[in-house]
Amino acid sequence: MSETEANSKFYNGTYAHGIDDKRRVQVPSKWRPQAEDFQFTVIVWPKAKEGPCLRVLPPKKMASLMADIDAMPNGDPNKTTLKRVIGGSSEQCTLDKAGRICLPDQMAKAAGLDGQAVIVGLLDQFEIWNPARYETVTASDSVLVSEAFRLME
């Protein structure tokens, strides 16, 4: 992916897709990188109330996350905890020729993904949800959305 393409790629929209026997799920075509060696970082992302989902970060977003963690003071115990948890619960994944991402087994189990998935754009990254958990998170979001949009005024 060229620098221009990386800076202009947005992950927006919500898509429902099946997950096949090999735990592969289709990534929307407009989200697919052009470069064959492009690697997404897939992380089991904890959500206290709804249960975990999988967060999928393109390289630029992963580099930004790592920079944010590295900027934390070395004496802060959260720094090592975040590095350990994110490092231990993430994997680099590429898309196959059909534009599918293969969900690592333990990650799919942790996120409750089996048979169906909802893929949700977060503008600079995206999430893969168990459909029932996604219904719960959208209900929670609907309560907070008015206040969130006020912060943008």
Residue range 34-77, pLDDT digits in tens: 888 899 999 999 876 889 999 999 999 999 999 999 999 999 99
Instruction: Provide the whole-model pTM.
Output: 0.88
Tokens at 136, concatenated: 């719960």
Rg (CA), the chain: 16
Return the ∠ at Cα 34 (arms to 103 and 59), rounded to 5°: 60
Confidence of residue 3 (pLDDT cuts 50, 70, 90): very low
Place of tokens 């221009």: 4
Place of tokens 């169906």: 116
Contact 10, 121 (CB under 8 A): yes
Give me the architecture of the 3-150 domain, per CATH: 3-Layer(aba) Sandwich (3.40)
CA distance 24 to 83: 27
Q: What share of the chain is helix, strand, coil (3-state, %, to 5)?
A: 40, 25, 35
